[in-house]
Structure 1
């Protein structure tokens, strides 16, 4: 084999290994996007959650009912992962999610996530802090108003109040 063939084979193997690692994920791995899948039109989201949290399962079921492919990762330290991902301390929700390169903290309604991925603002992510009783995963249907915040290099702002 010549050097170009060996180099091309090496690059292909390294790329395949990287894609496999990136796609499979683990509770100990840093956030990594499902941007390839999301960019192709799939609604792929990963949720890091406390293993004992029932509302997180209800929220994941809600997202699946709205056409998302959800990967659930048990992570009792999701709050530390949230801070590392850029979620402000006062903005931590009951779990952490990642979709198409964005961080989503808490029980954010599907239509707000879809708006985020569609509009692609220059932010790190969005959060619906705490566990509002009228949010998806806590109530059978969303009622009333939920205030979702954007966060990133420019600080924290209201992203949606609906």
Structure 2
């Protein structure tokens, strides 16, 4: 009688592990316009990769980019904030997870413009693009290249 009860309890604990892992991801605040479809798709990409997203529709997302210290030359259609870092544009969730794990001294990550094939911009073509690590003072280096 004790063994089956123990097994059920063990199974329940194992089944809850994915939920605990998802809950452990920090919340990403996203500032976007209400009508932008690619922003909504990027939010879905983040959620599908385990992030909790608090999306806010704002009149001018670039105000948040400026507030978080990302130069306008690295701008895109939405800005996010997670773990003290700015996330500008269509940055893949895997790069955000890497940023949060490595914790480099930086303002955040940016994918300038809206490259086809980046998360939220999927379509018939895949353009090469770079994820930039934006440092204090606005200097940036390539964090990851996508073909």
Fold equivalence (TM over 0.5): yes
Structure 2 equivalent of residue 83 of structure 1: 66
Distance 1:142 1:58 in 2: 17
User: CA separation in 1, counterparts of 2:90 and 2:60?
Assistant: 18
SS at match of 2:24: coil
Match of 1:156 in 2: 140
Q: Aligned residue for 2:11?
A: none
Matched, 1:57 2:40: yes
What root-mean-square deviation, in Å, do the aligned CA atoms of Structure 1 and Structure 2 show?
2.0
Contact 1:43 1:67 survives alignment (8 Å):
no
Whether 1:114 and 2:106 are equivalent positions in the alignment is no
1:48 maps to which of 15, 31, 37: 31
The secondary structure found in structure 2 opposite 1:47 is: strand
Aligned-residue offset at 1:44: 1.5
Structure 1: distance between partners of 2:125 and 2:102: 23
**TM-score (norm. length: structure 2):** 0.76
Partners of 2:92 and 2:126 in 1: CA distance: 11
Distance change (3 Å), C-alpha of 1:72 and 1:142: farther
Superposition TM-score, scaled by structure 1 size: 0.70
1:68 to 40, 51, 54: 51
Structure 2's unaligned 5+ residue stretches are: 1-22
Whether the aligned pair in 2 keeps the contact of 1:150 and 1:159 (CA below 8 Å) is: yes
Distance of aligned partners of 1:115 and 1:140 in 2 relative to their CA distance in 1, 3 Å threshold: farther
Q: CA deviation at 1:68?
A: 0.9
